[in-house]
Amino acid sequence: MDDLISRQAAIDAVDCIGGVEEVLRSLPPAQPEQTDCEYCHEDSDGFVRPIEKNSHAFVSFGLDGWHIAMRATGWVGRAPIKFCPMCGRRLTDG
């Protein structure tokens, strides 16, 4: 079975029985950290690739955290997000 589990949930479930916690903490993540998504990582010039070809939607990080920014004629909107809509990585501060 190929399903993802929470490392912390597994640790809590075994209640730290004789070294099991150390083994669980040493396991690699089920989903390796995404480091090269062009939609949520800046390029060498400090830009991200727009989600929509005319640059009307893109992922950005601001003072209030991560959000998806959208633009239309005379309108700008933002919505907070926790995951990149393109690669699925969890977005953290910075």
Same domain membership, residue 20 and residue 40: no
pLDDT in tens, 52-92: 777 788 888 888 889 998 888 888 888 999 988 888 888 87
Same domain membership, residue 19 and residue 6: yes
Q: Is the predicted pLDDT of residue 5 greater than 80, yes or no?
A: no
- The residue range of the domain holding 26 is 1-30
Spatial CA neighbour of 21 closest among 33, 10, 31, 32: 10
Q: Please, what is the average pLDDT of the chain?
A: 78
Same domain membership, residue 60 and residue 16: no
Same domain membership, residue 46 and residue 16: no
Structurally, the chain folds into a number of domains equal to 2
Helix (H) or strand (E) holding 20: helix 20-26
